[in-house]
Amino acid sequence: MSTHGLGWFPDAVSKNSFKVFRDDWGCNAMRLAMYIEESWGGSESLYLAQPDKNYKLVTEGVDACIDLGMYVIVDWHILNPGDPNNHTAEAKDFFDKLSKKYANCPNIIYEICNEPNSGPDWNRVKTYANAVIPVIRANDPDAIIVCGTPTWSQDIDRALSSPLDYSNVVYALHFYANTHTDWLRDRLKNCYNSGLPVLVTEYGTCDASGNGGFNTDQTKKWLDLMDRLNIGYFNWSFCNKGETASAFKGGTNLSNISAGESQLTESGKLIRKLYRKRAGLS
């Protein structure tokens, strides 16, 4: 399960709630989304405005997952700006501190840029990755690193034709079920069949806007395919914001969610049901 932006929803960093995802949903991994800045209002709570506070929040989330025996993705969420090179220095500092602290910890996975968008081509993304990956590698030679791909992490074919020159790197594919359908599943199958390592670090059950277009059939098609290919996936989002992608109803206390369906939205109910089935819980 992926959190929403932790700068806005810090209560989602909760061992109690992560335990519900582990035990009641059958999840083995959480993703901590750390927006670095935002083009519209409200940026004061995001990473670049308050790095120390937000770094601490991320480490609390990582520690909770380690205690629970779960994997945890730390996501440097660059929806804005879409070019990760705008903040390479800050990213290097962030991942240096984290990978020193968690050196050789098998739980943690580093997602160095979630979704390059609005301009940067794959070569620009590679420039950024080639600056940040060595920083992590100096502290942790083996940790899994996820690299986003252009067009909001849809262009994994670009990574296939020109991969990064590091081991244990996987490429992010993101989809929103009502927007990205057969054509993107076909791309995933082609890249997978050619040997590209892929992780779906974010997907939604609805429109790419995160609101409207809840689509059960397309969500099931995607989950069936990813299960068949044994590709991991993280649902956007563990949140109570009033939008279709949220798994929890408005007003839910994110720091202490309940097992069962009572707090869940339509999207939350579908995902929990499919996850429980896959985990053999029902």
Q: How far apart are CA 81 and CA 280, in angstroms?
A: 40
Give 24 or 38: the residue with its C-beta nearer to ligand IDC.
Answer: 38
Q: Which of 111, 202, 261, 266 is catalytic?
A: 202
The least CB distance from residue 114 to ligand IDC, in Å, is 6
CA torsion sign for 131, 83, 122, 175 is positive
The least CB distance from residue 245 to ligand IDC, in Å, is 5
- List of residues contacting ligand IDC (CB under 6 A): 38, 79, 114-115, 152, 174, 176, 202, 208-210, 236, 241, 243, 245
- Per-residue DSSP letters for 169-201? EEEEEEEETTTS-HHHHHHHHHHHHTT--EEEE
Tokens, residue 156: 């994994």
Q: Cβ-closest residue to ligand IDC?
A: 210
The least CB distance from residue 190 to ligand IDC, in Å, is 21
The least CB distance from residue 33 to ligand IDC, in Å, is 7
| Residue 261 contacts residue 280 (beta carbons within 8 Å) | no
The least CB distance from residue 157 to ligand IDC, in Å, is 18
Give 44 or 195: the residue with its C-beta nearer to ligand IDC.
Answer: 44
DSSP 31: E
Give 118 or 168: the residue with its C-beta nearer to ligand IDC.
Answer: 118
Nearest Cα to Cα of residue 156 among 188, 201, 179, 133 = 188
| Residue 37 a catalytic site member | no
The least CB distance from residue 44 to ligand IDC, in Å, is 14
Q: Which of 37, 38, 115, 243 is catalytic?
A: 115
Give 114 or 263: the residue with its C-beta nearer to ligand IDC.
Answer: 114
Give 18 or 116: the residue with its C-beta nearer to ligand IDC.
Answer: 116
Specify the length of the chain in residues. 282
| Residue 266 a catalytic site member | no
Give 2 or 102: the residue with its C-beta nearer to ligand IDC.
Answer: 2
Q: How far apart are CA 173 and CA 195, in angstroms?
A: 14
CA 232 vs CA 9, 26, 150, 159: distances in Å: 24, 13, 20, 18
Residue 229 half-sphere exposure toward CB, CA atoms < 13 A: 23
CA 181 vs CA 68, 205, 216, 224: distances in Å: 34, 11, 12, 13
Catalytic residues: 115, 202
